[in-house]
Amino acid sequence: TSLNKISLDEINITIWWKVTNLSDFTFTIKNQAYDIFINDTFIKKVGSAQSVEVLAKGTTRLPTYIVFTPKELIALGITNYKNLSTEEGRSKLKLKVKGDFTIGTSLFNVKKIPFEFKDSIKNIMNY
């Protein structure tokens, strides 16, 4: 995970999902649609229509871009905003990403593959 920017205007994070493809088939991941939660409180929907090719017998990094505004975080309480600035605070913040995406090959598409992930912001930043 990359913390790209933290300011009074926005908190900008990129989550890089490691996708390991052990099969002999190259495929694409597209139409990502996720709900973002902090400490089990819904924050916003994010997604990407961008296609990312996952090579056969390879590992690919799949980006998901998340931008929060202070207004969105105020709904959670100012404490969470302040927690982003310290390592101890980031350990208290649990990020959950839940949604789906489409996997496609040249022969077929499989839509609405479910996905769920949850961990602390501190742990995520140390992967």
Per-residue confidence (pLDDT) for residue 3, from 0 to 100 = 80
With H, G, I as helix, E, B as strand and everything else as coil, classify residue 89: helix
Q: Enumerate residue ranges in the chain where pLDDT < 70.
A: 73, 76-81
pTM over 0.85: no
Residues 18, 29, 109, CA angle at the centre, nearest 5°? 145
Per-residue confidence (pLDDT) for residue 65, from 0 to 100 = 84
Pair type for strands 94-104 and 58-68: unpaired
b/e per residue 40-74 (b: at least 16 CB within 10 A)? eeebeebebeeebebeeeeebebebebebeeebbe
Per-residue confidence (pLDDT) for residue 70, from 0 to 100 = 74
- State pLDDT tens for residues 10-35: 888 888 889 999 999 999 999 999 99
